[in-house]
Structure 1
Amino acid sequence: MKITDAKVILTCPGRNFVTVKITTEDGLYGIGDATLNGREKSVVSYLEDYVLPALIGRDAQRIEDIWQFVYRGPYWRRGPVGMTALAGVDVALWDLKAKAANMPLYQLLGGRSRDRIMTYTHANGEDIEATLAAVEKARKQGYQAIRVQCGIPGIDKIYGVPKGGKAYEPADADLPSEESWSTHKYLNFIPRVFEEIRREFGPDLHLLHDVHHRLTPIEAARLGKELEPYHLFWLEDAVPAENQDVFKLIRQHTTTPLAVGEIFNSIHDCRELIQNQLIDYIRTSVVHAGGITQMRRIADFASLWGVRTGSHGATDLSPVCMGAALHFDYWVPNFGVQEHMPHSELMESVFTRAYQFEDGFFTPGETPGHGVDIDEVEAAKYPYKRASLPVNRLEDGTLWHW
C-alpha cells in the first residue's frame, strides 16, 4: 500500500474545514480532518509544505511508524498546528487500513465496547426562560445529556449563546470581534439557572456546563460548590489549564465532576491531571490530539485512574472527525459521553456519512473505514473565507480568556 498522492481539501460550506486525502497505488484512499478553528491555513501550509510531500512512497499500512515520523522527525514537536496536521494524516491512514481490511474502523481497533454512544447537545438561551425552552427541545429530541449555557444579565454577549435563535458559530468575523466579561455577574447568576432547570425537569437529565476557562481556581471552586445541589454531569474548562496544579485547589473544595482538554494536543497536557485524579473526564479530540493513535494512548492512560472520555464535538470539527470519533467511542472501554453539535445541511452537503443518530445516541455504521467521505466537486463550490474567534475583555478593558 505505497502512498502515491497526498493532498489537502480546504472548503467553507458555512464554516472552514480542512480535509487530508491520502491515496495509495492500488487506488484506495482515506481521509482525515485537520481543522483548527480560526487557524486553518496555518495547518494547510504545514501539511502542504512539509508533511505531505514526505509521505509519498511510504507504506500506508505503517501507521505507527508514520505517526512517529511526523511527530519526532521535525524536532519541533507538539503544538496545535503540528498536532492537528498529524491528526489529519493519522485518521486518513486508519481509514485506509480499515478499508483495506474491509471492516469498520471500530472493528480494527478491537471491536465495540457498547451498543450505542450517548451524546450531549447544547441548550442555549438569552435568558432563563429561553434556556428552559431549549432544554425542553433537546429533551424531546431524545437527549439524556444536555450542556446548558445562558445569557447573563448585564453582559451583552456570552459564550455559547447566539442572538436571534440562530445556531451558535463563534467564529463570527473576518478579524476578531471583542466581547466583555464580568466574573462577578456570572458567578451570581449561573446557580439560579441550574436551580430553575432542576425545578422544571427533575433529577434525571445529565446537565453539563462550560465555563470556557474564565475563572481563577478559587472562583471555580466556589462555582463547583454552589452547583453541587444540582448534580452536574460535569463542569467544563473551569480555569485555564496550562498550570495543571491549579486543579488541586478546585478539587479540594467541590465534588462537582470536572472536565477539561478540548484544546489539549498531547498526552503531556493532561498527564498530571489524570494521574493525580484531578479531573473526571478528558475532552481531547481526535483532530487536535494527534489522531486516533494518540487518543488511544490517552484513553488507556486515563483508564488506570478512573478518568473517562468526553470528546469535543462542536462544529469546528468536520463530519470526518465526527465519524472517526464515533468509531473511537464505540471501542474505548472508559467512554463517558460524546459532544454533538449538529452540522448544518450546507455543511453536510459536502460529506457523506454512515453514522446514525437516534434519540440522543449515535452508532457509527458498518461501512469499511470511518464511514465518512468528501464530495470534492461540492467542496470546490465553497472557497475558504477567513473567520476569527472573538477575544474577551473585562469590564475595565483588561484582556481576558475567551
Structure 2
Amino acid sequence: MTVITSAEVLVSRPGRNFVTLRITTSDGVTGLGDATLNGRELAVASYLSDHVAPLLIGLDPHRIEDTWQYLYRGPYWRRGPVTMASIAAVDTALWDIKGKVAGLPVYQLLGGASRTGCLAYGHAHGATPQETVEAAHAVLARGFRAVRLQSGVPGLGDIYGVGASTLPGDEVRWSRPLEEQWDSSKYLRFVPSLFELGRAELGEDVHLLHDVHHRLSPIEAARLAVDLEPYRLFWLEDVTPAEDPAVLRRVRAASTTPLAIGEVFNSVFDIKPMLEERLIDYVRMAVTHGGGISAVRKILDFASMFNARSGMHGPEDISPVGFAASLHLGLAVHNFGIQEFAGYTDETLALFQPGFTFDDGYLHPGEAPGLGVSYDDTIGEAHPYEANYLPVNRLLDGSVHDW
C-alpha cells in the first residue's frame, strides 16, 4: 500500500514570506500545499512541523476526506486561522498527489470544468482618484475586465491599498507593524468621488470593485453602500468588521450594492449565518485559509443554495500553490463569481514555477497533472524567512482601529 513517507515544512522569502508543505509518498510522488498566514507564518510552520507532520507518516495519501476529518475532529482544539491553514496545506498537497497519480489536473477530479476560464480582477491604486484611474487604465491594458479601485484620502497618509503597505517585493518588510492613520468621516465624504471619476473615465462595461477593509460601523457602511449605488459596483468588500454578521442586516436593508466578505474566515461556521440570511453575495474565503480544497468546495456548495458566488481571496501573500488551488476549484464549481489576482514578483514565480495562465481577463490553472506548481529548493534556501508584519491602524486621536 502507498503511504506518506515525509512531510516537509518549507519557509522561504522571495520578496515576502511563504510557508509551503511538501508531502512525499512511498511511490515517490510529491504534493504541495500552501500554509502562509501573513504576519504569523512561523506559528503555522510550528503547528505543521511539531503537531501535524508526525501524524501523517504512514497514512494513505489517497484518503483525503478521512485525513481532513482526522486533523479537524481529532484534536480537542478546532478551527482558528493557524489550525485551518495547516489543514488546508495538507488537504491541498493530497489533492496535488491524487492528480499526479491520476494523470489529471485537480479540476478534473472535482467534476471537470464548468467554464473555460475564471474571470479575474486586478488592483489599481494611487494617491489621488486621477492616479488611481490612470493605474486602472494600465490594469485594463493588461487584459483585465474588472479592477479594484483604492485611492488615498485627503488629510490621511498611508492607508490600506495606498502607500508603503502596497509596495511590492522586498520593499514590504517591517520588523514591527507600520502604523497607519484612519478617519471614517474623511473617507466617507471622499470615496464616492473616486467612483464617479472611475465610472466616467473607464466606461460602463468595466467591473469596478472596492475594499473597505473592515473599517466602518454598520450605519457608516450602509451610508457608503447607498452613496455608491449610482456607480454600479461589482461588489463592496468587507464593509464592517467580520465577526458580527448581524450588522450586515442594516447595510443590506439600505442598499442594493452587492456585498463580499470572508477573507479572514476559516470555517463554514464563520459564514453560515450570513448565507442563511442572504446578507452577502460573494464568499471571499481562500483555499489556503479555509481548510483546503475539500472544505471550501463544501462551503461554496452550501453558498450556492443561497445564490451566493465565490470571490476567493487572491493577494500576493497566498502563494502560487494556494492560488492554483483556488483556480482549480473556481473552474470546477458552478457558482464561481470572480477571482482576485494581485500578481507575483519574478522571484516568487521563479521559486514556484506555476503553470496557470492569464488571457483576455480570464485565468486558467493549466492541464498539468495535480496543481501544476513546483518548488525550487535552491531558490527557497537562498531566501530565508525574515520577520514581517501587516500594518496596524489608529484613528486620529491615537486609538487602535480595525485594519
TM-score tier (shorter): over 0.9
Size of the aligned set, in residue pairs, is 402
Partner residue in 2 for 1:182:
183
| Paired letter, 2:83 | G
Q: 1:169 to 1:214 in 2, by over 3 A?
A: farther
Deviates more, 1:352-361 or 1:167-176: 167-176
Per-residue deviation, 1:347 = 1.1
Give every structure 1 segment of 4 or more consecutive aligned residues whose post-TM-superposition deviation is greater than 3 Å. Answer: 163-172
Matched residue type, 1:298: I
Tell me what 1:399 maps to. Answer: 400
**Where do 1:269-284 residues align within 5 Å?**
269-284=270-285
Deviation at 1:349, TM superposition (A): 1.1
- Rate the CA distance shift 1:131–1:394 in 2: closer, same or farther, 3 A: same
Conservation of the 8 A alpha-carbon contact between 2:15 and 2:169 = no
Gap change, CA 1:147 and 1:170, over 3 Å in 2:
farther
Q: Which moved more, 1:291-300 or 1:346-355?
A: 346-355
Pair 1:298 & 2:299 matched: yes
The one-character-per-residue Cα deviations of 1:272-314 (angstroms, maximum 9, x if unpaired) are: 0011100000000000000001001100000000000000000
Tell me the equivalent position of 2:120: 119
Aligned to 1:252: 253
Instruction: Please tell me whether the aligned partners of residues 148 and 209 of structure 2 are also in contact (alpha carbons under 8 angstroms).
Output: yes
2:9 alignment partner in structure 1: 8
Output the CA distance in 2 between the equivalents of 1:163 and 1:92.
34
Task: Indicate conservation of the 8 Å contact 1:126/1:163, yes or no.
Answer: no
Counterpart of 1:329 in structure 2: which amino acid? Answer: G
Secondary structure of the structure 2 residue equivalent to 1:22 = strand
Q: Which residue of 1 aligns with 2:209?
A: 208
Give the direction of change, closer, same or farther, for the CA distance of 1:378–1:170 in structure 2 (3 Å limit): closer
Taking the aligned partners of 2:229 and 2:204, their CA distance within structure 1 comes to: 12
Cα distance in 1, alignment partners of residues 325 and 104 from structure 2? 14
The TM-score normalised by the length of structure 1 is 0.98
Which residue pairs with 2:94 in the alignment? 93
Q: Are the counterparts in 1 of residues 165 and 172 from structure 2 also a CA contact under 8 Å?
A: no
Instruction: Supply the distance in 2 between the matched residues of 1:382 and 1:202 (Cα, whole angstroms).
Output: 43
- Equivalent pair of 2:91/2:293 in contact (CA under 8 Å): yes
CA distance in 2, matches of 1:215, 1:327: 34
* Deviation (angstroms), 1:169: 8.7
CA distance, structure 2, for counterparts of residue 167 and residue 228 of structure 1: 32
Where do residues 2-401 of structure 1 align in structure 2 (5 Å cutoff)? 2-162=3-163, 166-167=167-168, 172-401=173-402
Counterpart contact for 1:142–1:359, Cα < 8 Å: yes
Aligned residues: CA RMSD: 1.3
Q: Secondary structure at the match of 2:43?
A: helix
CA distance in 2, matches of 1:352, 1:77: 33
3-state SS in 1 of match to 2:382: coil
Structure 2 counterpart of 1:40, which letter?
E
Distance 1:108 1:52, change over 3 A: same
Partner of 1:259: helix, strand, or coil? strand
Q: Counterparts of 1:50 and 1:241 in 2: how far apart (Å)?
A: 29
Mapped to 1, the partners of 2:165 and 2:312 lie a distance apart of: 28
Three-state SS of the structure 2 residue aligned to 1:124 is: strand
Structure 2: 5+ residue runs without aligned partners? Answer: none
The offset of 1:359, in angstroms, is 2.2
8 Å CA contact 1:170, 1:390 repeated in 2: no
- Are 1:171 and 1:389, in contact at CA under 8 Å, matched by a contact in 2? no
SS at match of 2:334: coil
Give aligned-pair identity as a percent.
51
CA deviations over 1:198-230 (Å, ceiling 9, x no partner): 111221110000000000011000000000000
Cα distance in 1, alignment partners of residues 394 and 48 from structure 2? 34
